[in-house]
Amino acid sequence: MTKSEQAMSKFAEGYNCAQSVFNAFCEDLGIEPDKALKIAGGFGGGMGRKGEVCGAVTGALMVLGVRYGRGEKEADTARDIAYGRTRELMDEFARKHGSYLCRTLLNDCDLTTAEGRKFFAENDLSSKVCKPCVQSAVEILETML
């Protein structure tokens, strides 16, 4: 199964966009699948449904952080590499989708309200917006890793 298929499968199971993307790469990163799902759990809907940075993007950024970020044993230069990769991913995602902000991608649908969640469901925004975002985030990551 491809990374994209893995992410789409998790998303279809009801996991959020961040979880779906991060989980698709967890084995490569040496992270237990359940731990990956928990780590990314609060980032869906643009961080707890706040409409900030798209969860698919934040899931991808977590992958980049694990792969390139500065830990206790890395030099300061690792931070610069991670920041550069972060900007590259975000810029490419925005080129494909017009933005990396969840609220913009969802045309200002407010997921913190019952009305917003109803609008999201009734207009099938999960399939129309979120699924393509999950797929794109994975595809962009694959070209970067």
pLDDT digits (tens, 9 = 90+) for 74-133: 898 999 999 999 999 999 999 999 999 999 999 999 999 999 999 999 999 999 999 999
> Which residue range(s) make up the domain with 139?
3-144
In this structure, are residues 72 and 58 in contact, taking their beta carbons and an 8 Å threshold? no
First to last CA, the chain: 18
DSSP 42-84: T-HHHHTTS--B-HHHHHHHHHHHHHHS--TTS-THHHHHHHH
Q: Is residue 13 packed enough to be buried (19+ CB in 10 Å), middle (13-18) or exposed (0-12)?
A: exposed
- Report the percentage of the chain scoring pLDDT > 90: 97
What is the pLDDT, as a whole number, of residue 139? 98
pTM of the model as a whole: 0.96
pLDDT level of residue 31 (50, 70, 90 thresholds): very high
What is the pLDDT, as a whole number, of residue 74? 87
When the pLDDT of each residue in the chain is averaged and rounded to a whole number, the result is 97
The domain total for the chain is 1
Strand, coil or helix: what is 101?
A: strand
Average pLDDT over residues 6-34: 97
Q: Is residue 77 packed enough to be buried (19+ CB in 10 Å), middle (13-18) or exposed (0-12)?
A: exposed
- In angstroms, what CA-CA distances link 129 with 27, 28, 68, 100, 126? 27, 27, 28, 12, 6
- Answer yes or no: is pLDDT of 43 > 90: yes
